[in-house]
Amino acid sequence: MNKQVSFKDLGLIDYKKCWDFQEELFAEILTVKSSNRKEDKTVATKNHLIFCEHPHVYTLGKSGDEKNLLVNEDYLKSRGATFHKINRGGDITYHGPGQIVGYPILDLDNFFTDIHKYLRFLEEAVILTLKEYGLESERSPGETGVWFDVGTPKARKICALGVKSSRWVTMHGFAFNINSDLSYFGNIIPCGIANKKVTSLEKELEREIDFEEVKNKVKTHLIELFEMEII
C-alpha cells in the first residue's frame, strides 16, 4: 500500500479549471489500476490532496434538484457567481473566497476500502480543528458534514461534504467555511436541507480568522487520521 500523498495548495482557482485537474489525476489513478488488473501487475497508484479556494460558484451534485438554486442566471452574474452541474454526490452547495476547499484524490486501496469511514475521517479532521478553537461540533444523523447544535432550532452547518468514488478512487471532497461571505448561501437551499442555517468559523468566534493557520490544522489532522506521508 502506498500512503504517500502529493499535496498541492492551488490558492484561488476557477472551479472548472480545478475540476478538470481533479478529473485528470482521477483518471490517471484508474488507468494504473486497470492496467494492474489486466496485466497482473502491482504498480503503485498515486494519491493527491488539493487545497484551494474558488471564486463565487454554486455546484449541483448528480442527485440534486436544480430548484434548490433560488435565483436566475442574471442574478448570478450580478453577484459575480457561476453555476455548474457536476458528478459528485449530494445536492447544491456554494464555494467562495474565505472557504477551505479540500479535494482528496486517493486510491483507498492504499488506506482502507470503506467509503463510510472515509467520509467520517474528513468530518473528523474538521471536528478536531474546531476543537482547537474551543468549539464543540458534531455530526448530524443522516446528514453528512460538520454541524453545531444538532437537534435544536439553532442547528447550523460549518462544513459540507460531497464526493465521488470509482473502484475505491475518490475525488471532490469538503468545503469548510472560515471567513466566508454567508450571504451567498441565501441564494440556495444548501445541500437541499431547508430550515437549517449555515455558519463560518469567523461568525462563531466573532473575529476574522487566520486562514493559513486553519488550513495547516486541517491538513495536519488529515495526515494523522489517514496516516499519510506527504510528499
Written as nine digits, the cell of 10 is 492551488
Output the CATH code of domain 4-230.
3.30.930.10
DSSP states of 8-64 = EEEEE--HHHHHHHHHHHHHHHHHHHHHHHHHT--PPPP-EEEEEE-SSEEEE-TT-
Residue 218 has pLDDT above 70, yes or no: yes
Measure the CA–CA gap between 134 and 136, rounded to whole angstroms.
7
3-state secondary structure 68-126: HECCCHHHHHHCCCEEEECCCCCCEEEECCCEEEEEEECEHHHCCCCHHHHHHHHHHHH
Evaluate whether 2 touches 106 at the Cβ level (below 8 Å): no
pLDDT of residue 91: 83
- Domain assignments of the chain as residue spans, ordered by start: 4-230
pLDDT of residue 195: 65
Q: How large is the average pLDDT for residues 28-56?
A: 92
Where in the sequence numbering do the catalytic residues fall? Answer: 191
Q: How far is CA 98 from CA 53, 58, 61, 154, 216, in A?
A: 7, 15, 22, 23, 15
Written as nine digits, the cell of 218 is 486541517
pLDDT of residue 193: 63
Residue 90 has pLDDT above 80, yes or no: no
pLDDT of residue 190: 67
